[in-house]
Structure 1
Amino acid sequence: MGMVFSGEVALVTGGAAGIGRETALAFAAEGLKVVVSDVDVAGGEGTVALIRNAGGTASFIRCDVTRDAEVKALMEATLAAYGRLDYAFNNAGIEIEQGDRLPDGTEAEFDAIMNVNVKGVWNCLRHQLPIMLAQGGGAVVNTASIAGLCAAPKMSIYAASKHAVIGLTKSAAIEYARKKVRVNAVCPAVIDTEMFRRAHGGDEQYAAGVASRHPMGRVGQPGEIAAAVLFLCSDGAAFTTGHALTVDGGWTAI
């Protein structure tokens, strides 16, 4: 049984691969028109090709979410192409610092992670929310992490960025709670994406160790996060806003 959606246009940032690609495909499978955005042009166009080959409607628009002018142009291009923006999945992000204790992190790492993970979400929200308000409603989901809910030793900058995403999410949700615009976040544990594969670098013992830390004994799949995002956008979540939904194989229940 498919989910029920009141709108018809969805935007996915970070849509070139992994969670973003799977979510774009899932939106399209539900009959929505999808705008895919990323700095990875080849990957983003690849996602659009997969959607079109399956009979869906999609467009790719390159955007660096850290640049306000590019985000503004992305929203304008979305409206020009499809006339509205009903759902936005602000998923663009970069990975953790590589195992540094807090004093070992560099200013360059801090700036890079915060610019994409926090400023990028903030830029998107500040251009998406007025559009949704003007058209009478909409739903936004931001990608946070379980690192935004609990301690994350040796990845303090990344954890701080994801705590900030949850703060943005809750604040925006309350601001717009009576205006028919819902804002939620999804908080994955470790997901089997290229980002995870870069982290373990082919070290299967390391990968197995990470998987075993999840009570379910495995890492998650991108499609499992996509399903959570679509639920938060769907009419089934009509009374849900300001929520950080964990999809973590039980990690945060320990």
Structure 2
Amino acid sequence: MQTGKVILVVGGTSGIGSATAQLAAERGYTVVIAGRDPQKAAQVMKAIKEKGALAHFLQTDISDSRQVAHLVDEVVRLYGRMDAACNSAALDEGVGVALADVEEEAYDYQMGVNLKGIWLCMKYQIRQMLKQGGGSLVNVSSINGLGGAQGASIYSAAKSGMLGLTKSAAQEYATAGIRINALCAGAFKTPMLENVFKKANPDNPSQVEEQYKAFIPMQRIGHPSEAAEAILWLLSDQASYITGHSMIIDGGFSSSFR
């Protein structure tokens, strides 16, 4: 399926973002990947090239407003417009630390990317979409944003805040042709989740993974491509009457308390 549309995938160098960038390329999007690590980006670009498509990488620290503004300007300079954006960047710094033990610097660092960074991305993406007469955004949140999680207070707060940004902005720009939705992701086989398992039990992270699976009704960890499918659907015209929505994809993990 050729869409001819331009998509910006922030955090497209790893995990769900990487899967989204690759699937978007397969579906005929012109793909721009933003992230901090050129080496990780090179791996994603290679995977996309092997699928017979091309992508462009722009190194960006989304906690810096000037870099985010430049990122969006560059997408438009390269391709003339930005039809869709997926904001999937996240840090797991501070995960595994109880709230009273989190240092202020760690709080600022995590919130600077996981919440402020997403707000900055939305701000400049929406400004561009207003200029061109419409577009669609998906922010990748987490089921942690639906409540709380022991040892992940700051991460949960940021992901909850992301849902607030998503729903508020969806209402503000609903008549401007801009749809804004969120994906609440459960456990997916990503480097971030693997790192969490390693932090919990450095000697036997697979044991932690098996314990985690026991809480998931489907008894498995999701593949990032499963999240990517949902993201691209939310971004597509097939979801034309959906905005301000938080789509939960977690193998049923949160179904007992929501």
* Fold agreement, TM-score > 0.5: yes
For residues 53 and 203 of structure 1, the distance between their equivalents in structure 2, rounded to whole angstroms, comes to 32
Aligned-partner Cα distance in 1 for 2:253–2:94: 21
Q: Deviations over 1:167-206 (max 9, x none)?
A: 0101110000011100001011111111111111252111
For the 8 Å contact 1:96–1:155, the answer to whether it is kept is: no
Q: Distance in 2 between matches of 1:145 and 1:96?
A: 15
Alpha-carbon separation, structure 1, partners of 2:95 and 2:121:
27
Map 1:218-233 onto structure 2 (within 5 A): 218-233=220-235
Instruction: Give the counterpart letter for 2:153 in structure 1.
Output: S
In 2, the alpha carbon distance for the partners of 1:200 and 1:154 equals 13
1:90 matched to 2:87? The reply is: yes
Superposed displacement of residue 151, structure 1: 2.3
Retained in 2: the 8 A contact 1:96–1:157?
A: no
Q: Which 10-residue stretch deviates more, 164-173 or 93-102?
A: 93-102
Say which of 187, 212, 215 aligns to 2:214: 212
SS of 1:186's equivalent? Answer: strand
Residue of structure 1 equivalent to 2:118: 121
Report what 1:186 is aligned to.
183
Residue in structure 1 matched with residue 103 of structure 2 by the alignment:
106
Give yes or no for the alignment of 1:243 onto 2:248.
no
Are 1:12 and 1:89, in contact at CA under 8 Å, matched by a contact in 2?
yes
CA distance in 2, matches of 1:203, 1:60: 32
Q: Which runs of 5+ in 2 are unaligned?
A: 199-203
Matches of 1:154 and 1:57 in 2, distance apart?
A: 40
Paired-residue identity, %:
39
Q: Is the 8 A contact 1:213 1:251 kept in 2?
A: yes
Structure 1: unaligned runs, 5 residues or longer: none
Contact residue 32 and residue 57 of structure 1 kept, 8 A: no
Q: TM-score, normalised by structure 2?
A: 0.94
Q: Give 1:56 deviation, angstroms.
A: 1.3
TM norm structure 1: 0.95
Distance in 1 of aligned mates of 2:116 and 2:82? 21
Kindly state the Cα deviation for residue 96 of structure 1 after the two structures are TM-superposed.
Answer: 5.3
SS at match of 1:139: strand
Distance 1:204 1:151 in 2: 24
**Candidates 145, 153, 164, aligned match of 1:156:** 153
Matches within 5 A, 1:10-21: 10-21=7-18
Please give the residue correspondences for 1:6-45 in structure 2 after superposition, counting only pairs within 5 Å: 8-45=5-42
- Paired amino acid for 2:216: H
CA apart distance, 1:22: 0.6
Asked whether the equivalents of residues 138 and 181 of structure 2 are also in contact (C-alpha less than 8 Å), the reply is yes
- Equivalent residue in structure 1 for 2:74, among 52, 67, 77: 77
- Separation (CA, whole Å) in 1 of partners of 2:19 and 2:118: 19
SS of alignment partner, residue 120 of structure 1: helix
- Tell me if the contact between 2:95 and 2:155 (Cα under 8 Å) persists in the aligned partners: no
